[in-house]
Amino acid sequence: MAKAGLVIFALCLLAACLFLVMLPSLIVTARPYSTWIFQPVDCRFSAQNEENSRLDCFPELQMPTERECRARGCCFVDVTINRELLVPECYLPIGVGYEVMGQPQLLTSGYNLYLQRIHTPRFFYREAENLVVHVDEQAENRLHIKINEFRYVTYQDWKFPELEDRMWVPRYEVPIDVTRPARQASWTDYIFNYTRSPFTMQMTRRASSRFNMIDTALGALIFEDQFLQITFKLPNSVLYGFGEQNRERLRHNMNWKEWGMFAAPAHPDDKITNANMYGHHPFFMNIDDDGEAFGMYFHNSNAMDVHLTPMPAVTWRTTGGILDFYIFTGPTPEQVIQQYQEVIGRPEIPPYWALGLHLGIESFGNAQALENFVMENVEAQVPFDVIFSGMDYQEYYLSFTHDEKKVRRSFLDNYLHPRNLKYAIHLTPALSNQVPTPKLNYWPYYYADKHGLLVNRTDGFTPAFGVSWHGEASYLDFTHEFAKVHWAAFAEFLHQQLPFDGIIITENEPANFMNGSRMGCDLESKWNSPPYTPKLKSAMLYYETLCMDTKMAKGIHYNLHSLYGHFSAEASNYAGSLLYNDKRAMTLTRSSFAGTGKYAGHFLGKNRALWADMFRSVIEIDEFNMFGIPFTGADICGTTGEPESAELCQRWMQLGAYQPLARIYRSLNTSRVDPASFRTSDPTAFNNMREMARRRYSILPYLYTQLYHAHVDGYAVTRAPFYDFNFDKLSVWDVDWEFMLGNALLVVPVYEEGARTVTMYHPNWRFYYFYDPQESGKVLGSMLETASELSNVTVSAPLSEIPIFIRGEHIIVTQEPGNCTYYTRMNPLTIWVAMPENNVDISRGDLFWDDGETQNTYERNLDIYMEFFADLLKLEILSQRVGMVAEVPELVGLLPNITKVKFVGQEKDPAGQLYVDNVQHPTSLYNYDSVNKILDIEGLSLDIISDHRIDLQSPN
């Protein structure tokens, strides 16, 4: 009996051991939304189970087991050794997704297709059984595809009320209107096709069917409650876009890379690969083998990621909303951006003074330190326009308060503004609910709470609390229709105490100094703990922000989070427009969404004083021009950290002089890097940085004209060379270390300590030196000669300048710099004429001019617009619009005159026969350099409201 007992005990012990060994496996494999019924799936050999064309069927887990995979209804095949972490072993089968029911339903705008779900792997829960696909050929170069959940009967159609699901709530859609064309397209340059079972979509160019711009045949359409997925096969792996992230290169690596998009605070020392940052921009551009581009915008604000595979293909995954796509056919990169901005809205033109240099420090400590900072740069004759500080101008870091000990109003009234300099403030959307007694002392919170303008908890009326600089805080709900009125009212209240000139809104992701709230987030809520978390910097969607189940006027924070920065920028712009009486407000925002450029520019947030960060800033600025926010810039010489040498600051200043937004801003407990700070310690660096500031002011007429074109035509102001030279194909697609400023200036920064030469990509185009290369036989304006066009070449890069080149066939206008934009605008203008490579083509250029601050001058005909045309024998200056002076004739006396013209690459020697408006010009006032082919004409006095002509031979 005892022996039998021992045997039983041993068996029980063995069973217990086996259970303990298997327990981890059981825990790992027992996933909440899977079923253990193994369904038959079609995994036969096809292109689908070639490794590079696989689509992950288990995106929430990096390496699922075969049992988990097959239980979901997916295919499982081992991959090549050493590729387990890249290529999914568990992948989607073929023949799954949805199929079309019946015939298309024709509408006044496009048509609808109705889909029903066929046997498809269930990823999580509540998959949509029926979908409606709306196909709208909106314009000849734009296709709109909208995929939504479908119920047989809606509240507008009650023919079959017994089928209506009265518990059903329509799915969330982005509450931002997009621009529709005035009329439906009668013809398109593309052809859209679809297959019925399974449902797939293809789109080709009408002129050439060699490539499908899009093709969804590669993978299944997945549409569940909190997980939506669709895959587009691309014609080429040349892919740009998606933001905002801190990336190493402009062109995407298609080798199984993932990028998340969800607005989040970022930190300079973030080590997380592919981390999402402040903005949310689900847009990409792809270029095919013929050099033709197309773009795609995903109109969705939920947390999402994109999965890039070598097929090449893009898989969009989002955690809510609907699948709403706009496809733009280009075919040039520039046209793709123009077409995209027709949908999201084109950017505003900033006030002219905002193009000047901005100088700031996070905390000056006291008012005297700020005043000394300003006066040192004024006395050093450094051109600048804007002074700004962090939030230390406030009392206890409370928005809309002013601490006179930090910024004295008398200094603004008696020193700054009389010199036509500006002061900008930082604002955050966090409103303190406790310092010191809010209902008595802090009116912004009190009235926001009283009128229901705060982000609330799940009950819909109790404010949600986070933590900001001043401690516990609530957040203004900018989606509320009266929030911008509240924001503007208190901006006016602050302006009466401190007459600021611009608003920089920061921490508007919104940022929270803790995760969720001090009481935590409800982890049982599907909003805080969705079944799928995109590839973001944290698996918690509420990481450093509010809980996802908090409520806002337009819905739940889970859906609206990435729009918070957009709506706060709109409110800040609205406040500025009321404050400055028909004048443009300078608004800068840290967080952004598609279309934010209509209301604000963008500062790139904190960066480090490193050469690598300087390079990355070029990529980010190029991307934001792609996203429709051209007025963007990085902090010159870094926000944090100490620069390893003054050379870094010199080179960064040389770069920043040619970017749309130029600002120097240093964080707390870091040394100054503004030009005046080097005046004693490093006079060479000081002189160079001051000269680069002057160089920036000299090109402002050209830069302002480019921002006008961005506003009117949707142009990218700074862009990688592939925009302008996409005919070069393979050579230009990877070039991201240099950029075009507008269509006329090529900027080649220096990114290495001690470098006195730099490698540049030389497009197949005529270029001329726009800088002094300090090299034998080359001068300002001489031709860039090389036998290696369409390749990388080495050019001189002296410490005093970075290489800048003006492009042949283009004409730009520069101006004598002053101490700020107010005085610069009165100085004489110079026209640069860069001649074409042959004597047949014509050089072209233009100038946009207005008073620099009135709203909508182009739309109201309150501007001046001139065009320039030049050939071998003449320069024509044509005045196209003069509405600015037609309304106010006395402004004529305030306009600058053209006093110089510089021809570069000019083969024609006037030889004493140079005529200005049919009057022979004195030979002493012009000079022709026959060696470098440069013609300098001085002594002119040409107004900018009349037509003029300069002939290089007798006009008779």
DSSP string, 17-79: HHHHHHHHHHHHH--TT-----------SSGGGSGGG--BS-TTSSS--HHHHHHHT-EE---
Does residue 23 register a pLDDT over 80? Answer: no
Please count the structural domains in the chain.
4
Q: Is residue 715 part of a domain?
A: no
**204 lies in the same domain as 90:** no
Helix, strand, or coil (residue 746)? strand
Cis peptide before 198 (omega within 30 of 0): yes
The vertex-194 CA angle with 191 and 199, nearest 5°, equals: 155
Q: Is residue 542 part of a domain?
A: yes
CA distances from 934 to 307, 558, 810 (A): 52, 61, 15
Q: Which single residue is written with the structure tokens 């028909």?
A: 582
Average pLDDT for 100-124: 91
Q: What's the token pair of residue 333?
A: 């990169």
The vertex-432 CA angle with 427 and 438, nearest 5°, equals: 125
Q: What is the per-residue pLDDT across 896-931, written as a single tens digit (0 to 9) for each?
A: 999 999 999 999 999 989 999 999 999 999 999 999
As a whole number of angstroms, the distance between CA 350 and CA 599 comes to 9
Question: Residue 116 forms beta bridges with which residues?
Answer: 99, 130
- CATH number for the domain harbouring residue 637: 3.20.20.80
**426 lies in the same domain as 324:** no
**407 lies in the same domain as 487:** yes
Please report the pLDDT score of residue 271 as a whole number: 66
As a whole number of angstroms, the distance between CA 406 and CA 370 comes to 8
As a whole number of angstroms, the distance between CA 528 and CA 549 comes to 6
What's the one-letter identity of residue 55? L
Helix, strand, or coil (residue 862)? coil
pLDDT band at 16 (very low <50, low <70, confident <90, very high): low
Say how many CA atoms lie within 13 Å of 79 toward its Cβ.
Answer: 19
**285 lies in the same domain as 424:** no
Please report the pLDDT score of residue 170 as a whole number: 86
How many other C-beta atoms lie within 10 A of the C-beta of residue 715? Answer: 23
Higher pLDDT, 120 or 313: 313
Q: What's the token pair of residue 885?
A: 């002076």
Domain finish residue from 322, 344, 366: 344
Domain finish residue from 320, 344, 368: 344
What's the one-letter identity of residue 944? I
Range(s) of the domain holding residue 85: 32-94
Please report the pLDDT score of residue 155 as a whole number: 43
Residues listed for the chain? 956
| DSSP result, 919-941 | EEPPGGGEEEETTTTEEEE-S--
Does residue 339 register a pLDDT over 70? Answer: yes
Q: What is the per-residue pLDDT across 460-492, written as a single tens digit (0 to 9) for each?
A: 889 999 999 888 999 999 999 999 999 999 999
Higher pLDDT, 839 or 621: 621
Taking all residues of the chain, what is their mean pLDDT, rounded to a whole number? 90
Integer Rg of the chain from CA: 31
Q: Which single residue is written with the structure tokens 């921009």?
A: 281
Q: What is the per-residue pLDDT across 648-688, written as a single tens digit (0 to 9) for each?
A: 999 999 999 999 999 999 999 999 999 999 999 999 999 99
As a whole number of angstroms, the distance between CA 378 and CA 684 comes to 18
Please report the pLDDT score of residue 14 as a whole number: 66
As a whole number of angstroms, the distance between CA 522 and CA 811 comes to 61
**112 lies in the same domain as 58:** no
The answer to whether 213 touches 203, Cβ cutoff 8 Å, is yes
Please report the pLDDT score of residue 164 as a whole number: 46
Q: At what angle do helices 646-656 and 683-698 cross, to 10 degrees?
A: 10
pLDDT band at 578 (very low <50, low <70, confident <90, very high): very high
Does residue 706 register a pLDDT over 90? Answer: yes
pLDDT > 90: what percent of the chain? Answer: 76
As a whole number of angstroms, the distance between CA 651 and CA 688 comes to 9
Does residue 168 register a pLDDT over 90? Answer: no
- CATH number for the domain harbouring residue 924: 2.60.40.1180
Helix, strand, or coil (residue 901)? strand
Candidates 543, 551, 521; CA nearest to 457 is 551
Strands 804-807 and 745-747: antiparallel
Q: Is residue 721 part of a domain?
A: no
The answer to whether 715 touches 334, Cβ cutoff 8 Å, is yes
Q: Is residue 708 part of a domain?
A: no
pLDDT band at 600 (very low <50, low <70, confident <90, very high): very high
Please report the pLDDT score of residue 888 as a whole number: 83
DSSP label of 822: H
Does residue 186 register a pLDDT over 90? Answer: no
Q: Which of 181-190, 226-235, 934-943 has the lowest mean pLDDT?
A: 181-190
Q: What is the per-residue pLDDT across 721-743, written as a single tens digit (0 to 9) for each?
A: 999 998 887 789 999 999 999 99
As a whole number of angstroms, the distance between CA 941 and CA 936 comes to 15
**399 lies in the same domain as 413:** yes
Average pLDDT for 425-433: 94
Average pLDDT for 273-291: 91
| DSSP result, 339-357 | HHHHHH-PPPPPPGGGGS-
Distance of CA 88 to the CA centre of its chain: 31
**83 lies in the same domain as 106:** no
Strands 601-603 and 586-589: parallel
The answer to whether 806 touches 834, Cβ cutoff 8 Å, is yes
Candidates 720, 725, 739, 723; CA nearest to 789 is 725
* 507 Rama class: left (phi>0) / alpha (psi -120 to 50) / beta: left
Q: Is residue 127 part of a domain?
A: yes
Write out the H or E segment, with its range, that includes residue 688.
helix 683-698
As a whole number of angstroms, the distance between CA 593 and CA 595 comes to 6
Contacts of residue 33, defined as CB under 8 A and 6 or more positions apart, other chains included, come to 122, 123, 124, 125, 531
What's the one-letter identity of residue 760? M
As a whole number of angstroms, the distance between CA 829 and CA 826 comes to 9
Does residue 575 register a pLDDT over 70? Answer: yes
pLDDT band at 158 (very low <50, low <70, confident <90, very high): very low
Contacts of residue 79, defined as CB under 8 A and 6 or more positions apart, other chains included, come to 51, 86, 87, 88, 89
Does residue 440 register a pLDDT over 90? Answer: no
Question: Residue 794 forms beta bridges with which residues?
Answer: 759
- Residue 150: is it exposed, middle or buried by C-beta count within 10 angstroms (0-12/13-18/19+)? middle
Contacts of residue 839, defined as CB under 8 A and 6 or more positions apart, other chains included, come to 871, 872, 907
Write out the H or E segment, with its range, that includes residue 883.
helix 883-887
Q: What is the per-residue pLDDT across 486-502, written as a single tens digit (0 to 9) for each?
A: 999 999 999 999 999 99
Please report the pLDDT score of residue 5 as a whole number: 63
Please report the pLDDT score of residue 36 as a whole number: 39
**394 lies in the same domain as 446:** yes
Q: Is residue 904 part of a domain?
A: yes
pLDDT > 70: what percent of the chain? Answer: 91
Does residue 27 register a pLDDT over 70? Answer: no
Does residue 46 register a pLDDT over 70? Answer: no
Distance of CA 850 to the CA centre of its chain: 27
Candidates 591, 389, 585; CA nearest to 475 is 591
**290 lies in the same domain as 408:** no
* 627 Rama class: left (phi>0) / alpha (psi -120 to 50) / beta: alpha
DSSP label of 826: T
Domain finish residue from 94, 109, 127: 94
**494 lies in the same domain as 571:** yes
Q: What's the token pair of residue 79?
A: 């991959």
**397 lies in the same domain as 483:** yes
Q: What's the token pair of residue 311?
A: 């097929």
Q: Is residue 667 part of a domain?
A: yes
The answer to whether 895 touches 849, Cβ cutoff 8 Å, is yes
The answer to whether 297 touches 253, Cβ cutoff 8 Å, is no
**388 lies in the same domain as 459:** yes
Candidates 600, 618, 612; CA nearest to 719 is 618
Cis peptide before 510 (omega within 30 of 0): yes
Does residue 533 register a pLDDT over 50? Answer: yes
Candidates 76, 107, 110; CA nearest to 93 is 76
Please report the pLDDT score of residue 35 as a whole number: 40
Candidates 118, 121, 168, 172; CA nearest to 148 is 172
How many other C-beta atoms lie within 10 A of the C-beta of residue 630? Answer: 31
Q: What is the per-residue pLDDT across 378-416, written as a single tens digit (0 to 9) for each?
A: 999 999 999 999 998 999 899 999 999 999 999 999 999
